[in-house]
A and B are shown apart, each in its own frame.
Chain A
Amino acid sequence: MINSIIQSFESMLNSGNILYNIAALLVYAIMIFIMLAVFGYMFGWIERKIIAKAQYRHGPTYVGKYGILQNFADLVKLFAKGSLDLDNADSLLYGTALPILISLTIFVVLILPIFPSIQATNLSFGLLLVLVVVAFMPIMIFLSGFASGNKFADISAQRSILMLLSYEIPLMLVIVAIGLVSKGYNLQSIIAMQSNSYYILLMPIGFFVFFIAMLAEIERPPFDLMEADSELIAGWITDMSPAYYALVLFLDYSKVLMSSLLISILFLGGWLGPQPIPGVAWLIIKAIIIAVIAVIIRATTFRMRIDRILRMGWMILIPLSLINLIITYIVFVG
């Protein structure tokens, strides 16, 4: 039955009728949104449990079995609270930056090839589009922090631009190397090219650089400078109203999913894997492994300083990604 649904869905997507296409895309977008919400919810719980384990705690246990409903209770609490009117904020910019940020994240997940058969669009420049949209995210954070009129948010906004300067270039260089190997930036063909060997084996340096840059991209520790609680209280979300803060949490988790999906598609072969398990499951498993590694890093490491991140970006990541590019060129093209 599921197969027949998928097939009819596929035929809707591929049919020439534009109305059918739009309808199918909407359904797909809603599906992706639900997937993000479910993953975000589950990931929030898993993260709390893993960090609790690392700290000899139990984590949430009280609401629901194994505390699985704890995040839901938190959500209800957040939405039940009153909202905050900010005097200094530019309300238009402040109100729109976060929703735009969330829609950008959903857009990225939308154009990633998650199911082997269904894809919203199969662009020849899919990876480049992902990179462009991802690069917009810190800019939206900057606008949100800048517009809130809070000094802590302002400092956090400035930091987001500095972070952008430090990791965006290595990210691009790694993507160029991937483009060289797979002769194009089509995400489907990138996965298809990995059927012999995953890119993590072909360019381990590239994977390393990409993973670190992606951690910085999604503001995970040790690069969570924008929400550095020891100095900036909460950075760009200091003055957020509770309902908006719930959206920030959703954003945080969906960014983790986005980046771990991206990493598993680019380096771990996406849906490729031994047959009896469906491809989507393989992709999700790989993404979860990446996300859990990010959580373990969060539980153990100290936060870096902004000038050190810039230094690391320019003195370590850029040379490494250049080396990766050169090696890739020599081995696969030259």
Chain B
Amino acid sequence: MPITKINIGPVHPSTHGVLRLAVYLDGDTIERVEPHIGFLHRGVEKLAETRMYMQNHPYMEKLDYIAPMAYDEAYVSTVEKALGIEVKERAMYIRVILLELQRIASHLFFVGTIGNDLGQMFTLFMWTYMDRDKVLDLLQEATGSRMFYVNMRLGGLVSDLPPDFEKRTLETLEYIDNRVKEYEAFIEKNPVFHERMKNIGILTPEKAMDLGVTGPVLRASGVQYDVRKNSPYYIYDKLHFEMKILTRGDNFSRYKMRLLEMRESIRLIREAFKMMPEGDALGMPVKLRMPPTKNKEVWISREAPKGELMMYMVADDQKPYRLAIRSPNFVNLSAIVHMSKGLRLADLFATLGTLDLVMGCVDK
């Protein structure tokens, strides 16, 4: 049969943003896929070179608008490391709590979109979005904003947690825990879901490591790598949580991985609340002038909800000389070229969906 080229995107219901895929089809089977990216490129890395440290701060969250807290925290940590600022003990706990809440919110979003990608008329999406809103309510209470928090400050946070935040968070977590069980039942009792997800888009551990994918996608392939465990930051080494591993590496295990991680995050937050010390959590107020640093090279690595997020910065006098961001989504997207070979056209979008891409983060 002749090869048909179809052009999917940049505006398409299930490319999760502005991604263009040139798909070469042999009948209904995919011969090859070429992702074309850059529709949302904003030049954040270059822009950062022209602004002072804390002026850059709000830009970073706009990269991943599904999980902005991770970028907020990663950038501030990079600057802290460059300037040699210590983070307060209580602030560390609060940061971990907020990051894990953000992870839950991000994974809830994933569970909803996977329903859309499999052609389920927005029901699952509306359900998970409703629950995600509950988590966002908590984040709003803690930070004052639902989407772009700009909540971290050097050495701490803008503000301490509001009173009774712990109680409300634990209630919400209880609710989310039950809801996750409900989703599991709703999704996995459906034979069509198993048919559409199992043994499709397989990523072997070797190939996954070759491609450099990280996060839930890598762990679903059976590779034990989680930055929170392998090179712990903040208080992750004091908290008890498991690094969940699934071995099949197909769409189903990538979906399942997110549910398991949500449970671990809930466990983490509960424990962090128990261990949280009293004290001061406020960071430095925003000021543009910083103590001078010359040619100091730093990099940090964080476990963002989508994968390993790294920020590399060469610190100049008052601003970054160079800021490089290793976005997990960009690397994970590259796996679709390998994974899509021989798939059916319909499965391409399920596979793309399980990578949980945010195009803002891919294009930077």
Contacts and interface: CB of A to CB of B under 8 A. Distances in A.
Interface of A: 51, 54-57, 151-152, 155, 158, 221-222, 224-225, 228-231, 233, 298-308
Nearest to A162: B28
A224 B120 CA distance: 10
B190 A302 contact: yes
Contact of A55 (B25, B119, B123, B349): B123
B192 A301 contact: yes
Nearest to B192: A302
A300 B349 CA distance: 19
A305 B348 CA distance: 11
Nearest to B4: A151
B123 A300 contact: yes
A219 to B, nearest CB: 12
Given A56-B130, A151-B4, A302-B193, A221 B349 contact: no
Contacts of A224: 119
Contact of A303 (B4, B118, B186, B348): B118
Contacts of B117: 230
B28 A307 contact: yes
15 contacts: A51-B121, A56-B126, A222-B119, A228-B119, A230-B116, A231-B345, A300-B186, A301-B120, A302-B119, A302-B196, A303-B196, A305-B196, A306-B28, A306-B346, A308-B196
Given A304-B195, A307-B28, A298 B121 contact: yes
Secondary structure call for the A interface: helix
A316 to B, nearest CB: 11
Nearest to B348: A231
A315 to B, nearest CB: 13
B114 to A, nearest CB: 9
Interface in B38-81: none
B12 A304 contact: no
Nearest to A304: B192
A230 to B, nearest CB: 4
A55 B12 contact: no
B123 A305 contact: no
B347 A301 contact: no
A99 to B, nearest CB: 28
Interface in B87-126: 115-123, 126
A55 B345 contact: no
Interface of B: 4, 6, 8, 12-14, 25, 28, 115-123, 126-127, 130, 186, 190, 192-193, 195-196, 344-349
A228 B12 CA distance: 12
Nearest to B28: A306
Contacts of A221: 119-121
A264 B31 CA distance: 45
Contact of B190 (A228, A231, A298, A301): A301
A306 B190 contact: no
Contacts of B349: 230-231
Given A230-B119, A302-B192, A303-B120, 17 more contacts: A55-B122, A155-B6, A155-B25, A222-B119, A229-B13, A229-B119, A230-B13, A230-B117, A230-B349, A231-B14, A231-B345, A231-B346, A231-B349, A300-B190, A302-B119, A302-B190, A304-B196
Ranked 8 nearest A-B pairs via Cβ? A303-B119, A55-B126, A230-B14, A302-B118, A302-B192, A302-B120, A230-B349, A151-B6
Contacts of B115: 302
A57 B126 contact: yes
A225 B12 CA distance: 17
A301 B192 CA distance: 8
Q: Select the residue from B119, B120, B122 with max chain A CB neighbours within 10 A.
A: B119
Q: Select the residue from B122, B190, B346 with max chain A CB neighbours within 10 A.
A: B346
A315 B14 CA distance: 31
B118 A155 contact: no
Nearest to A55: B126
Contacts of A225: 346
Contacts of B127: 55-56
A230 B123 CA distance: 15
Contacts of A56: 126-127, 130
Contacts of B196: 302-305, 308
B350 to A, nearest CB: 8
B214 to A, nearest CB: 26
B266 to A, nearest CB: 22
Contacts of A307: 28, 344
Contacts of A151: 4, 6
A57 B116 CA distance: 17
B6 A299 contact: no
A142 B81 CA distance: 63
Contacts of A228: 119, 346
Nearest to A228: B119
Contacts of B4: 151
A307 B27 CA distance: 12
B123 A54 contact: yes
Contacts of A54: 123
A151 B23 CA distance: 12
B345 A308 contact: no
A155 B345 contact: yes
Contacts of B190: 300-302
A180 to B, nearest CB: 31
Contacts of B348: 231
A155 B127 CA distance: 32
Contacts of A305: 195-196, 344, 346-347
Contacts of A304: 192, 195-196
B133 to A, nearest CB: 11
Contacts of A57: 126
Nearest to B12: A233
A158 B13 CA distance: 21
Contact of B13 (A233, A300, A308): A233
B24 to A, nearest CB: 12
A233 B15 CA distance: 11
B145 to A, nearest CB: 24
Contacts of A308: 195-196
Nearest to A303: B119
